[in-house]
Amino acid sequence: MSTIYIASDHGGFNLKTFLVQHLKSKGHDVHDLGPSDPSSCDYPLKAQAVTEALLKNEDAFGILVCGTGIGMSMAANRVPGIRAAVCTNEFHASYARAHNNANIICLGERVSGQGIAADMVDIFLSTAFEGGRHLRRINLFDK
């Protein structure tokens, strides 16, 4: 099973809470980095918490949830070594890992229901990076 760091802002709180329980029920080591309630909060700070944790444990994965997933991905992708992908369907989740070696999946509570979000996370966590030509391209990200 995987180690997962997860956080949201207020717009993604309900989906984050659902995903924490879903992932724990599958035996994953889940670290909920907040928030603990749906009060208004700043998504860049939540993205920072997950990216910092992920950079200390490169074998782990991150999940960030906001209203659309876009703000979280923009904040996370400012950090070298982070490859955060907004996903809205299973194909996105699969290819984010297989071709882009994404280490964070970003989801939108206002975009995806709980069922599709759980499916995307499961696919994201179980899909291996293909390497090869994709690795060469990913190595260009941080240059």
Catalytic residue ranges = 99
Q: How many CB atoms lie within 10 A of CB 29?
A: 12
DSSP code at position 8: E
What CA–CA distance (Å, rounded) separates 13 from 19?
Answer: 10
| Torsion sign, CA atoms 45, 98, 57, 26 | positive
Decide: residue 90, CB within 10 A, 0-12 exposed, 13-18 middle, 19+ buried.
middle
- Beta-carbon contacts of 118 under 8 Å, excluding residues fewer than 6 positions away, are 18, 19, 22
What CA–CA distance (Å, rounded) separates 1 from 122?
Answer: 11
